[in-house]
């Protein structure tokens, strides 16, 4: 074993792995999480998170519907303006059917 090899083995693992600070943070989170599992708090937190996730999905769905509706209105008004320019008709005379 050369001089450099002995120096490296005393420093620990090579530098291409996760940093020791990150490993310590993960370990702390795991220990805190285990305490919650045995106290019953983890199940309540998971249930709360599931409810929050469902609310967010509903909100996303509502926003998508609103966006699509507004895009439809915008394309109708753009189409009506283009038609008025070519034919001289006003946007009020245009009809829309689904």
What does 10-36 look like in DSSP terms, one character per residue? Answer: HH-S-TTS--HHHHHHHHHHHHHHHHH
- Residue 97 DSSP code: -
The dihedral of CA 17, 18, 24, 26: what is its sign? negative
Distance CA(37)–CA(31), nearest Å, equals: 10
- pTM for the model stands at 0.36
pLDDT of residue 67: 95
Distance CA(65)–CA(73), nearest Å, equals: 12
Distance CA(86)–CA(88), nearest Å, equals: 6
Provide the token pair at 9: 């083995």
Distance CA(54)–CA(81), nearest Å, equals: 41
pLDDT (tens, 9 = 90+) of the chain, 98 residues, equals: 555 555 555 565 556 788 888 899 989 888 887 777 777 666 666 777 888 999 999 999 999 999 999 999 988 887 766 655 555 555 555 555 55
């Amino acid at each position: 074993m050369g001089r450099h090899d002995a120096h490296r083995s005393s420093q620990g693992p090579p530098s291409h792995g996760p940093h020791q600070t990150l490993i310590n943070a993960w370990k702390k989170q795991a220990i805190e999480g285990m305490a919650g599992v045995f106290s019953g708090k983890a199940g309540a937190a998971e249930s709360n998170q599931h409810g929050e996730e469902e609310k967010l999905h509903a909100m996303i769905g509502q926003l998508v519907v609103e966006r699509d509706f507004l895009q439809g209105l915008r394309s109708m008004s753009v189409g009506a303006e283009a038609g008025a320019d070519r034919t001289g008709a006003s946007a009020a005379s245009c009809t829309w059917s689904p």
